[in-house]
A and B are shown apart, each in its own frame.
Chain A
Amino acid sequence: MAASNPPVAKAIYVCDQVVPNVARQTIDLLGVFNAFRLPTGQSVPYTLARMCVFVQMEDGLGDAELQVFVVSAATGQVIFHSPIHRVRFPNRLTVVSANIRLVNCPFPTAGEYWVELYCDGQIMGDRVVHVLV
């Protein structure tokens, strides 16, 4: 079921790791990046072991489905995507944060990719990630 009011993404980050700091009740983003270079000796196609897409949303109401698509800027085609994840907005003032962690992310070529975040099938925002060789 789609959210009765669509949420708005206030911030989207692509990073290595998102760590909940339980003691301080905060969330720590580690290794925020918009490009990565292949390790020495590696070539494309390259599989990035882990990638996190962190988003903060508000103005939503009800249940919503989140999904990340990674799109090749050169072809406009989806290279890989996440499973669909469900989040709940108790009211429109609540800021809901989500970390979508993906493992084994295949990048077929070097170049530009768009990390797109969708909510209930509508794009909320995106980040550009470059794969450098």
Chain B
Amino acid sequence: MATNQPTDDENPQIIGVEPVYFFDGTAIVPPVGTMPPPRPAGMERKPLPPGTIPGWEFVELDGAAVIPPPGTKPPPRPPGKERRVSSQDAGQVAVLITLIESALETIHAALAEIKQIQSKAG
């Protein structure tokens, strides 16, 4: 029976339905001296100082989910890191936009009618 509580070794609610590609290939050795494509600014790499031991840490973080007060917002995202609404939300937004556009058309029509009446009365 599926519940909202994950078991020790699996979460029965997980689904991964997005496309996944599996590619197999043999490593291709290019001619000696081949350089990779140039990296854009900000993506440069420099070798670590000689003798540096690569770091490897694995931290398991366990804890109960904390429910914040209603209306709690996450920290603001910096420019370029914004998230758009998901496709489902986008659908709901599209419906609301249609409703607003329809209401605006009604308002514009009513305004035109009012102006017509005013001009006749004037």
Contacts and interface: CB of A to CB of B under 8 A. Distances in A.
Contact of A85 (B21, B35, B39, B87): B21
Nearest to B47: A73
A39 interface: no
Given A116-B36, A123-B43, A94 B19 contact: yes
B23 A103 contact: no
B37 A118 contact: yes
A103 to B, nearest CB: 5
B29 A80 contact: yes
A83 interface: yes
A8 to B, nearest CB: 10
Nearest to A128: B54
Contact of A96 (B19, B22, B36, B37): B19
B27 interface: yes
Contacts of B23: 66, 82-83, 85, 98-101
Given A116-B36, A123-B40, A130-B54, A101 B20 contact: no
Contact of B27 (A25, A82, A99): A82
Given A74-B47, A83-B25, A24 B19 contact: no
A64 to B, nearest CB: 11
A101 B25 contact: yes
Contacts of B30: 78, 80-81
A98 B21 contact: yes
Contacts, number: 118
Interface in B36-80: 36-37, 39-40, 43, 45, 47-48, 54-56
A78 B48 CA distance: 18
Q: How big is the B interface, by class?
A: 35 or more
A28 B114 CA distance: 67
Contacts of A105: 27
Given A27-B16, A73-B45, A95-B18, A34 B35 contact: no
Given A71-B36, A82-B27, A98-B20, A24 B47 contact: no
Nearest 9 CB-CB pairings of A with B: A73-B47, A80-B27, A98-B21, A130-B54, A35-B54, A97-B20, A105-B27, A85-B23, A78-B34
Interface of B: 10, 14-30, 32-37, 39-40, 43, 45, 47-48, 54-56, 84, 86-87
